[in-house]
């Protein structure tokens, strides 16, 4: 049996591609989801990957869910913090609820798995951030703040975990051809693509390949880093 990998939000979009790619590399994958039971069941039927339902914004639910995954599959050695939501609004119109929902969803996954990684002297923490955490975005103060926070998390965890054999890195996707992006009006999508020097949207599988590399033994000396996968739209 391969190493156990947990992918939050792992049954749809970029998370689905990550889950499949890790399984193809021999990992034992667990994918979390928030509410779409039908999609999760279809995903498990198609891939054989187990899915677990919990609200990643709830720390106690996350801790209990992680304990269940480890009881079923074994210690989690790779965690991919991918789950996320948007609650967009200009800052002057943004409600406290919109702020709180996004902040708690994005920054509340890693703590329960950290002690076990330290004890076992191995771990791979991979956080899916965003181009908008690097450059900001109109009407996404909450989202951009959390995605920028992701980058601070990995830089700090890299320093804390390095001597324990743990790496922590981030991937910042640009605009990717997920259901959400493909559902926007064609003219809006064309305006997005016009800003991307590569002249196209990214594919979820391209983000998944970044994750597979960061999870591998080959990436053992890469720590506290960010991979920007955005078709040259933005440089750091």
Q: Which residues are catalytic?
A: 143
- Report the distance separating Cα 171 and Cα 214, nearest Å: 9
Tokens 């960010």 belong to 226
Tokens 């591998």 belong to 216
- Report the distance separating Cα 71 and Cα 56, nearest Å: 19
For the record, the structure tokens of 60 come out as 């106690």
229 beta partners: 173
Asked whether the beta carbons of 78 and 27 are under 8 A apart, the reply is yes
* DSSP string for 79-147: EEE---------GGG--HHHHHHHHHHHT-SSGGGHHHHHHHT-EEEEEE--HHHHH--TT-HHHHHHH
């Amino acid at each position: 049996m391969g190493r156990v990998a947990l992918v939050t939000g792992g049954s749809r979009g970029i998370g689905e591609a990550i889950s499949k790619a890790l399984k193809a590399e021999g990992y034992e994958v667990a994918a979390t989801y928030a509410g779409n039971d039908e999609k999760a069941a279809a995903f498990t039927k198609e891939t054989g990957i187990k899915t677990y339902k919990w609200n990643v914004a709830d720390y106690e639910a996350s801790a209990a869910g992680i304990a269940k995954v480890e009881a079923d599959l074994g210690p989690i050695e790779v965690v991919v913090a991918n789950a996320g939501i948007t609650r967009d609004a200009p800052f002057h119109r943004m409600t406290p609820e919109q702020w709180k929902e996004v902040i708690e969803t994005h920054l509340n996954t890693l703590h329960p798995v950290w002690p076990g990684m330290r004890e076992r002297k191995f771990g791979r923490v991979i956080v899916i951030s965003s181009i908008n955490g690097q450059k900001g975005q109109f009407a996404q103060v909450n989202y951009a703040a959390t995605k920028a926070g992701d980058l601070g998390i990995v830089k700090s965890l890299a320093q804390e975990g390095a001597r324990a054999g743990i790496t922590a890195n981030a991937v910042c996707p640009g605009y990717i051809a997920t259901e959400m992006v493909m559902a926007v009006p064609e003219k809006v999508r064309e305006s997005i693509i016009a800003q991307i020097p590569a002249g196209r949207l990214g594919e979820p599988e391209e983000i998944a390949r970044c994750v597979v590399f960061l999870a591998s033994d080959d990436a053992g000396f890469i720590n506290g880093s960010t991979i920007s996968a955005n078709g040259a739209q933005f440089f750091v």
